[in-house]
């Protein structure tokens, strides 16, 4: 009896193993072995932060989706040779103000397949998406922005950032109603998030901010916020800035994403990271991001440079570089250029703070790229992702490659997927996922854009595919292809 039972058990196990083997085979090769894929990325080291896969695989792509991940060769109309190269999910940039065709070219060279403007955002979601439809190299998306909505309601004369009433005056009850309506409407039209730049709308009351969090919570939209204060001068420190939005998130239930933690925290960045981790540990949905540089950048005429800026940020005139010319400022040129308006690079972030944030597995990578192409602008829009992988992973060994990839692919997708389910198929190399893929040489990848010479393509990225279409092939931009699609939340009105 016992022997018979053993035989039955053994046969059952054998059948189970055979079934599992068959299932494994069919799940890695859903199509027949003789299927011909549109494109195969052959023999690359496929790295997927979600599953942990880190093996040599052939990636079969048809109709813009990943259809096969196979250890054996696949047939294709077009085969891309990835031998010796890493095949990763395309990078998702949560924070890129430059949303023009030229910015997308720089970003494609830096491995970015989805470029999102979630901090400043827009006051007209429909127009913003319509302007990029069928014209974009990479995927694109936007938040509804408190800054532009407040500027529009309060008739602010500023360019991109407020310089008048939207920065410096409390909203009337009527204006506050209009601002809230504008924000709510933007979410109904599929904005990915609510964007706040409280430091730029310095006169917005705490109550106005809480109201915006309530609107975000009602639509399950994350709030991407540049907090009210930066630096170490009490009582307006980066920590106090973070406390305001953590309290707003806790009391409303809105998911919270704090942008560019290093330019908020400066020397105290590690303390701010500890506060965010503490909030996470106690159940709050709060995340953060950084760019891998020792300088910030913004417009000189903005409220950030209202009187007292030296004390607040712990810097002075010579720490500011005028983006148009590269000259360091003096008291005289500061006044002149502030009246004129334009971008400065701000050398305010200690190297240790940048390194601590880049190395932290909890902190996402986002470029905060600047619009335009000033000859001495900040290099971050051009080089952020290659700089993390080349400088911090390979040269500094500050973090491992899979962790770095996770911070620029899976984590940003997860940040947005509750609001916009399309992100469940981004940031992964998985069967059924969108074929947004970046193929690079991990021994060679590096940023070339510097503070002296910022308009340089990154090096070492060989292929970039957006929805299955190569936009970068053999390290060169592909001409006249526009496979970028809108990354947008479902419309609710």
Chain residues in the site for Zn ion (CB under 5 A): 226
**Tokens at residue 400, please?**
């491992």
Q: Closest approach of Cβ 481 to Zn ion, in Å?
A: 31
For Zn ion, the closer of residues 43 and 287 by Cβ is: 287
For Zn ion, the closer of residues 291 and 392 by Cβ is: 291
Give the Cα separation of 356 and 262 in Å (integer).
9
Intra-chain end-to-end CA distance of the chain, in Å:
68
Neighbours of 203 (CB within 10 A): 16
Contact assessment for residue 379 and residue 454, using Cβ atoms and an 8 Å cutoff: yes
For Zn ion, the closer of residues 226 and 406 by Cβ is: 226
Give the Cα separation of 391 and 420 in Å (integer).
33
For Zn ion, the closer of residues 222 and 484 by Cβ is: 222
Angle, helices 401-408/410-417, rounded to nearest 10 degrees? 30
Q: Closest approach of Cβ 316 to Zn ion, in Å?
A: 21
Q: Closest approach of Cβ 17 to Zn ion, in Å?
A: 55
- Secondary structure class of 178 (helix, strand, coil): helix
Q: Closest approach of Cβ 346 to Zn ion, in Å?
A: 11
Peptide bond into 235 cis (omega under 30): yes
Q: Closest approach of Cβ 264 to Zn ion, in Å?
A: 9
For Zn ion, the closer of residues 268 and 297 by Cβ is: 297
For Zn ion, the closer of residues 136 and 382 by Cβ is: 382
According to DSSP, residue 446 is labeled B
For Zn ion, the closer of residues 216 and 461 by Cβ is: 216
In what helix (H) or strand (E) does residue 336 lie, and over which residues does it extend? helix 331-340
Contact assessment for residue 142 and residue 95, using Cβ atoms and an 8 Å cutoff: no
For Zn ion, the closer of residues 76 and 248 by Cβ is: 248
Q: Closest approach of Cβ 296 to Zn ion, in Å?
A: 8
* Residue reference for tokens 């792509």: 61
Q: Closest approach of Cβ 226 to Zn ion, in Å?
A: 4
Contact assessment for residue 142 and residue 114, using Cβ atoms and an 8 Å cutoff: no
Output the residue with the shortest Cβ distance to Zn ion: 226
Which alpha helices (H) appear in 160-317, and where do they start and end? 165-168, 173-188, 206-218, 238-252, 261-265, 269-281, 309-313
Q: Closest approach of Cβ 391 to Zn ion, in Å?
A: 22
Return the sign of the alpha-carbon dihedral for residues 153, 155, 161, 166: negative
For Zn ion, the closer of residues 138 and 296 by Cβ is: 296
What separation in angstroms does the CA of 419 have from each of 71, 209, 416, 483? 35, 20, 6, 23
* Residue reference for tokens 């399309």: 422
Q: Closest approach of Cβ 199 to Zn ion, in Å?
A: 7
- Secondary structure class of 478 (helix, strand, coil): coil
């Amino acid at each position: 009896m016992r022997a018979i039972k053993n035989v039955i058990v053994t046969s059952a196990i054998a059948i189970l193993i055979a079934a599992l083997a068959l299932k494994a085979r069919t799940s890695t090769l859903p199509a027949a072995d003789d299927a011909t894929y549109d494109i195969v990325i052959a023999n690359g080291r496929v790295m997927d932060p979600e599953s942990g896969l880190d093996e040599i695989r052939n990636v079969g792509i048809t109709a813009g989706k990943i259809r096969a991940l196979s250890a054996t060769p696949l047939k294709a109309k077009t085969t891309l040779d990835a031998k010796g190269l890493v095949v990763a999910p395309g990078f998702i940039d949560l924070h890129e103000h430059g949303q023009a065709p030229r910015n997308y070219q720089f970003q494609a060279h830096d491995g970015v397949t989805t470029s999102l403007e979630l901090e400043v955002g827009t006051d007209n979601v429909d127009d913003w998406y319509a302007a990029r439809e069928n014209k974009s190299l990479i995927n694109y998306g936007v938040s509804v922005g408190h800054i532009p909505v407040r500027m529009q309601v309060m008739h602010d004369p500023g360019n991109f950032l407020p310089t008048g009433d939207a920065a410096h005056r409390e909203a009337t009850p009527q204006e506050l109603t209009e601002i809230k309506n504008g924000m709510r409407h933007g979410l109904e039209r599929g904005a990915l998030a609510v964007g706040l730049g409280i430091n730029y709308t310095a006169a917005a009351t705490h109550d106005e901010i809480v109201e915006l969090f309530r609107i975000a919570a009602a639509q399950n939209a994350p709030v991407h916020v540049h907090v009210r204060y930066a630096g170490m001068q009490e009582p307006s420190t980066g920590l106090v800035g973070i406390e305001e939005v953590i309290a707003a998130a806790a009391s409303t239930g809105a998911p919270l994403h704090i942008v560019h933690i290093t330019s908020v925290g400066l020397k105290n960045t590690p303390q701010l990271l500890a506060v965010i981790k503490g909030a996470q540990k106690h159940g709050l949905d709060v995340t953060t991001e950084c760019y891998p540089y020792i300088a910030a950048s913004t417009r000189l005429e903005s409220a950030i440079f209202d009187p007292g800026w030296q004390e607040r940020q712990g810097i002075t005139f010579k720490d500011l570089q005028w983006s148009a010319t590269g000259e360091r400022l003096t008291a005289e040129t500061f006044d002149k250029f502030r009246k004129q308006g334009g971008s400065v690079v701000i050398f305010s972030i200690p190297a240790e703070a940048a390194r601590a944030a880049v190395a932290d597995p909890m902190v996402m990578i986002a470029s905060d790229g600047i619009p335009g192409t000033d000859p001495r602008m900040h290099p971050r829009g051009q080089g952020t992702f290659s700089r993390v992988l080349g400088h911090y992973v390979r040269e500094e060994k500050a973090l491992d490659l899979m962790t770095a990839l996770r911070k620029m692919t899976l984590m940003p997708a997860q940040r947005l997927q509750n609001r916009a389910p399309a992100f469940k198929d981004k940031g992964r190399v998985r069967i059924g996922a969108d074929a947004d893929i970046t193929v690079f040489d991990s021994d060679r990848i590096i940023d070339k854009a510097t503070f002296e010479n910022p308009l340089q393509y990154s090096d070492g990225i060989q292929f970039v595919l957006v929805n299955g279409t190569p936009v970068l092939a053999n390290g060169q931009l592909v001409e006249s292809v526009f496979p970028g699609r809108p990354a947008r939340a479902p419309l609710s009105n």
